[in-house]
Structure 1
Amino acid sequence: MTETRNTAAAGNGTSLEGSFLIAMPGMSDKRFAKSVVYICAHSPNGAMGFVINKPQTMSFPTLLMQLEVIARPEDILMPEHGKNIVVTNGGPVESGRGFVLHSGDYKSVGTVVVDSNISLTPTMDILKALSKGTGPHSAMMVLGYAGWSAGQLESEIAANGWLTCPGDFDIVFSTRAEQKYSSALAKMGIDPAFLAAEAGHA
């Protein structure tokens, strides 16, 4: 039987920007158990990304009201699907800080293009745009982020803590949170049950 190992960019200098990190069953940090992380920045100095499958109970309209972007939920003018934007726990670092992952059809002064389809905006501009119906077609609000110092992520990957694969727009924005982990594994051709069995016999 072939052992399931990650062979993607660990120490070969290849950037993982725009890729998924998929937590292995043996992930030692319980905060990342069964997590799917979308990597937005990766260089020799470190890496930064967002967990995309750990939703918060807070609704997007409630968050906008707390931030005083709107006064009432009915003040949101975006299409109905926009009102259902998911608010997720993006990671343990600066958990009170908000970011918006979104489709590439929106850009403001603070927008960072991650890949051809997905961008990141950390400013209030995008929240105001979303509330007025002028924001991106697809978006996800994340609170906090996951960060790694120089060489840390590469070490975790080499230790078989993470699998990596190219990011997927639909998994980020369209797939239900509870299905993202299995969907990301399926993108790699891996059955979650097989992965768990492999980990159990490591």
Structure 2
Amino acid sequence: MIEPAPGVVLISEPFLKDPNFMRTAVYLCEHSEESSFGLVMNRPFEQHLEDFIPELRGMTIPLFYGGPVQTDTLHFLHTLPDLIPDAQLVSDGVYWGGDFASIIDLIMAQRLELDQIRFYLGYSGWGTGQLAAEIAEQSWLTVQGSADLVFHDAPEDIWKLAVQQLDKSFHPIIHYPTDPQLN
């Protein structure tokens, strides 16, 4: 396992009971000793971006649940730093944020492919020492993230794909039931 840092993916252990993080993969955008900020990559939201942005009515753009913190905020990851000003590099080929008006213009002009950007409501956050403690308790496993993982065309598979990046001894957890008492 690797230490938390921007671009690292947190993989929830298979029996984590917290409904916000059950079988999730969280992409860390920021990490320091004081706090960590990440986005759940594999939890589609029941509504679409058009439900929140009136200019996009009629465009079915997927939206994801980024985490339980400030679910009234919108965040985005993308691969388009040349088209979206003020984007922040997180790791190889993955950028966070930028000028949202530029994104609306790109969408309206049909100059943006949906496999190049993901939108998230809310985020996942940890205060001083909280993430380190959760990792020590083995609530999270860690792997290096990638654009291929973040923008995978089957988000429901991201947790399993992240687990497959771990040592082979971890691979059986993919098949564990969510509730071992039901086994």
Higher-Rg member (1/2): 1
TM-score scaled by structure 1? 0.76
SS at match of 1:147: strand
Residue 142 of structure 2 corresponds to residue 164 of structure 1 = yes
SS at match of 1:128: helix
More displaced, 188-197 or 89-98?
188-197
More displaced, 109-118 or 15-24?
109-118
Counting only pairs closer than 5 Å after superposition, residues 50-69 of structure 1 correspond to structure 2 as 50-60=39-49, 62-63=50-51, 66-69=52-55
Name the structure 1 match of 2:93.
117
SS at match of 2:176: helix
Q: CA deviation at 1:107?
A: 4.9
Q: Which runs of 5+ in 2 are unaligned?
A: none
Q: In the alignment, is the contact (CA less than 8 A) between 2:94 and 2:146 conserved in 1?
A: no
Counting only pairs closer than 5 Å after superposition, residues 137-156 of structure 1 correspond to structure 2 as 138-156=116-134
Structural RMSD (CA): 2.5
State the distance in 2 between where 1:130 and 1:91 align. 25
State the distance in 2 between where 1:21 and 1:170 align. 16
Give the letter for the 1:182 counterpart.
K
State the distance in 1 between where 2:105 and 2:90 align. 22
Residue 154 of structure 2 corresponds to residue 176 of structure 1 = yes
Q: Which runs of 5+ in 1 are unaligned?
A: 1-6, 10-14, 77-82
Percent identity, aligned pairs only, is 26
Residue 13 of structure 2 corresponds to residue 24 of structure 1 = yes
Aligned residues: 175
Residue 35 of structure 2 corresponds to residue 46 of structure 1 = yes
State the distance in 2 between where 1:156 and 1:177 align. 24
